[in-house]
Structure 1
């Protein structure tokens, strides 16, 4: 059973080909026509419920199969119409009786309208959209590939996701390229339906008048009914497939299925709905217009738009209240953040971020009296004088010097650092004096 299901499409194609060769009973012809309508309706509904075209990527191949299926049915119905004296099954008979209503001209006009709408409007537009979409998709491929490589290089996505995106881009290009060719099949199918209808009618007239001895009126009554009915049961599924083709190639930007998107976007415009109702209400003043119908439709639109507008306002009030509460909660945080940003913008505050002093001098315990002004130290005054003199003479300002004692040094040692790096180190003996020996000393002085 699983093997049969895996080869179901191949079996269906073989059966369709057999339709072109093997004559079918009218019962099986009716079954095939009903299946054709059902499959076409199913394809249309699927195309309306997908979010993006790649969810129905088999559509180009399916379009070819359904077209071949319709051709096979047309061959079978043509064989039945011409071989059974205009009898081609109950479906064609019922469709012909329902549409014609005893008037051949009306049936032919309706059939031509359906064919021309499909051929000139839907198929022509879908063909152009598919062609443009295929061209733009191919042109955008290098830019999309570069964007994926950039996201991968920056670490926004991993290698697996990058492969998935590249595969999706390739599938989109292949899909729109296939759709560009598949729309030609739909266009050819519409042309072929006109030819088949003309062949059925002309061939039926020849067979009925030459071989059956029927009058022209009888031939027209019998074969026009069958011909128009056959054309309608063939063109209605073709129209559904053409509509599905147009929907798929025009699904450019979609957040959800077509049903959900249409409902959401229409219901989000209550003012437009009310204005439409007002315009219809204005048409009531036109003489001869159906007052009741216009009034009902206008009233429904205006009431519906007003109700939608009230509902949107009610839904917006809780959201506004929540937004106000959130604003109050965020006020203090925003103030702190604003103060922090203002502090960062201040040029002078940059120096507070630097934890390392530009110039630093450390000294041992015995050297504290040289720095401490309370003990008579003049170290700080001498540094201030030196910085001022250097700025006047050299034009450069020496940064402030950090002075502090250090227990890691010997009592008489000092240490100078620039940006935390040691640049000088020495020792000063407090309570000692420097004596310079003259050429002829009078005596010796005790020292170290």
Structure 2
């Protein structure tokens, strides 16, 4: 047996011996004080316990504390009737608590007993009875739920066994509490009977054997009896309250001694300090005897310190074990798999830019990224993946790098306390500053100080702060690479979103006609040319309409673009006319004759000298547009558009190439240039 088991066993035996063996008054004072201390401890534990199973010894503890109080009642009755005195604690309660007036004290005692008996005890008894009944009634349903989870594979056999044991413990606990609540009720009744016996017997003994007058007997024995009743009923009231708390929350595999030591002296060291402070205050600040209360205060304080030390030690050991486990996990070969994950979008920056991303330092870069994702969702209809922010000590302090799929695609450098000023072409005069290049569009710009900001804006410059520079740059990079960020999983999410409102459309197209991969290729083709895929309903309906015509995703993309003609017209046409570059008829026929069909799709096969001639002519026409400040747009026949677009990507990746079918009929087309062979 462990030492704690022996102590608990000896304590229970000692309680029995108290009933039989006369106890010295000094020892009785300590035992009465200990009774109050344990009642406080039980009440606080019941308040701090989150689950009834954490205090599963409570039914047995209720029996022990009730027996302990009754044994003290017997000992105090022996001293009251034999000596006319029961120690300092009872005398202090008699004189201090009831101010030496036995009638007032007796009334207070009756009120406490009534409150305990009719309110707390009665309610706790009823709650325990109902809880036991419902717990037992719910057991078959809970067992069936466990079996269902086990059969479906949601839990293992070990988990199922643990759940069944927990249900059984809960049933045992509430069943035990239903019976144990009767102890509290019986304790209240016994307190009333013992008090009445003490008063009547005290009158008889005082007047017959000790020749006391009626007033003297009343004063002495009633005062002691009521003091004894208060000393015993106040802890009983605390325990009754604890019963009402615990009963609304099962058994344990361990024995009672181990549970008492573990559950009462392991989890809540701060409670020991609270009790120690209360006892010290009672011993020093009241007429109660100092020695037992201060001694117990020291004992509880020492116990709390030892518990706190043990908790700290266990916590450190758990942290060390966790660290060791983490090290072992890292050493496992399979944990290298986590290093294989490639982030979709990464923004790395030097330590000088950290304040822009740190909320605690006033940085709003995270909020700006949220707005970027919302903006791109509205403009392109794409859900942008999370942007991973990282600091990189290998970069210059004010440098940042944007990565797509783990590969650097662009970078820039900031001056933290400056503003970027760009001339939109209407600025009235030059402004002093540090020459640089705007990272998003490659435009010439200057870094200016905050004092020059107002002047630059007055002169017509566009002035932005460093966070806006990063946000704009990141936005453009995401738009340019949106087709790479759109994978099959993202397409499935877009299709599922449409399915909520148009289930018939989705069921017809995916996966009966097209796979998610084929839909993804069409959407990627659209995004590659900065065409929004937000109108997924139109896109899927077009795919369904032309599924019998072709399975070539490039041709399907052209059909989708033609269905989106209203959107494309709105995007590139201002007013009712559009100025474009057209293709010579001979060139269009040459392109159509050069298209080669293979199983994987179609491609353009043309001699290099012809390609070079076409690109030279295109460059001349593009320069004409840019010289007058307009965006160059090439207009071709529908069948030629996609092949000419791919041809021009060699020199102008962002060149807009449209077909006649993508422009609304009411738009006037003005050809201001022609590409020839």
Q: TM-score range by the shorter chain?
A: 0.5 to 0.7
Gaps in structure 1 of 5+ consecutive residues: 252-256, 258-317, 356-398, 407-448
CA gap of 1:340–1:214, structure 2 versus 1, over 3 A, is closer
**Within 5 A, what are the aligned runs for 1:235-384?**
235-251=233-249, 329=373, 331=377, 332-333=382-383, 337-339=493-495, 341-342=497-498, 345-346=504-505, 347-350=507-510, 351-353=512-514
Q: d(CA) in 2 for partners of 1:322 and 1:75? A: 73
SS in 1 for 2:235: helix
CA gap of 1:160–1:327, structure 2 versus 1, over 3 A, is farther
Following TM superposition, by how much is the alpha carbon of 1:241 offset from its aligned partner in structure 2, in angstroms?
0.5
Q: d(CA) in 1 for partners of 2:211 and 2:367? A: 86
Following TM superposition, by how much is the alpha carbon of 1:339 offset from its aligned partner in structure 2, in angstroms?
4.1
CA gap of 1:233–1:324, structure 2 versus 1, over 3 A, is farther
Residue 101 of structure 2 aligns with which residue? 103
SS in 1 for 2:29: helix
SS in 2 for 1:117: helix
Report the number of matched residues: 296
Residue 4 of structure 2 aligns with which residue? 5
Following TM superposition, by how much is the alpha carbon of 1:5 offset from its aligned partner in structure 2, in angstroms?
2.5
Question: Structure 1, residues 134-177: CA drift from partner, whole Å, max 9, x if none?
Answer: 00001111111111112222222111111111100000000000
CA gap of 1:128–1:324, structure 2 versus 1, over 3 A, is farther
Q: d(CA) in 2 for partners of 1:246 and 1:45? A: 13
The answer on whether the counterparts of 2:90 and 2:224 sit within 8 Å (CA) in structure 1 is yes
**Within 5 A, what are the aligned runs for 1:144-293?**
144-251=142-249
Q: d(CA) in 1 for partners of 2:166 and 2:22? A: 45
CA gap of 1:323–1:33, structure 2 versus 1, over 3 A, is farther
Q: d(CA) in 1 for partners of 2:151 and 2:366? A: 40
The answer on whether the counterparts of 2:150 and 2:156 sit within 8 Å (CA) in structure 1 is yes
The answer on whether the counterparts of 2:116 and 2:240 sit within 8 Å (CA) in structure 1 is yes
Give the strand-richer structure, 1 or 2: 2
SS in 2 for 1:20: helix
SS in 2 for 1:333: coil
SS in 1 for 2:133: helix
Residue 363 of structure 1 aligns with which residue? none
Q: d(CA) in 2 for partners of 1:75 and 1:59? A: 24
SS in 2 for 1:194: helix
Residue 68 of structure 1 aligns with which residue? 67
CA gap of 1:52–1:405, structure 2 versus 1, over 3 A, is closer
CA gap of 1:3–1:248, structure 2 versus 1, over 3 A, is closer
Q: d(CA) in 1 for partners of 2:494 and 2:514? A: 18
Following TM superposition, by how much is the alpha carbon of 1:77 offset from its aligned partner in structure 2, in angstroms?
0.2
SS in 1 for 2:383: helix
Q: d(CA) in 1 for partners of 2:98 and 2:151? A: 67
CA gap of 1:145–1:232, structure 2 versus 1, over 3 A, is same
Following TM superposition, by how much is the alpha carbon of 1:31 offset from its aligned partner in structure 2, in angstroms?
1.0
Q: Looking at both structures, which has the greater relative contact order when contacts are Cα pairs under 8 Å and sequence separation is at least 6? A: 1
Q: Alpha carbon RMSD of aligned pairs, Å?
A: 3.2
Pick from 104, 115, 118: which aligns with 2:116? Answer: 118
Following TM superposition, by how much is the alpha carbon of 1:6 offset from its aligned partner in structure 2, in angstroms?
2.1
Q: d(CA) in 2 for partners of 1:18 and 1:325? A: 76
Following TM superposition, by how much is the alpha carbon of 1:327 offset from its aligned partner in structure 2, in angstroms?
8.1
Q: d(CA) in 1 for partners of 2:69 and 2:104? A: 24
Q: d(CA) in 1 for partners of 2:366 and 2:30? A: 60
Q: d(CA) in 2 for partners of 1:227 and 1:324? A: 77
Q: d(CA) in 1 for partners of 2:122 and 2:366? A: 51
The answer on whether the counterparts of 2:101 and 2:223 sit within 8 Å (CA) in structure 1 is no
Q: d(CA) in 2 for partners of 1:143 and 1:81? A: 56
Q: d(CA) in 1 for partners of 2:156 and 2:496? A: 36
Residue 421 of structure 1 aligns with which residue? none
SS in 1 for 2:191: helix
SS in 2 for 1:101: coil
Question: Structure 1, residues 60-118: CA drift from partner, whole Å, max 9, x if none?
Answer: 00110111111110110000000102x10000000010122132221111101100000
TM-score by length of 1: 0.61
Residue 40 of structure 2 aligns with which residue? 41
Residue 94 of structure 1 aligns with which residue? 92
Q: d(CA) in 1 for partners of 2:208 and 2:368? A: 88
Gaps in structure 2 of 5+ consecutive residues: 250-266, 268-361, 385-489, 517-547, 552-596, 600-677
Residue 81 of structure 1 aligns with which residue? 80
CA gap of 1:47–1:326, structure 2 versus 1, over 3 A, is farther
Residue 457 of structure 2 aligns with which residue? none
Following TM superposition, by how much is the alpha carbon of 1:325 offset from its aligned partner in structure 2, in angstroms?
6.7
Following TM superposition, by how much is the alpha carbon of 1:338 offset from its aligned partner in structure 2, in angstroms?
3.4
Q: d(CA) in 2 for partners of 1:120 and 1:323? A: 60
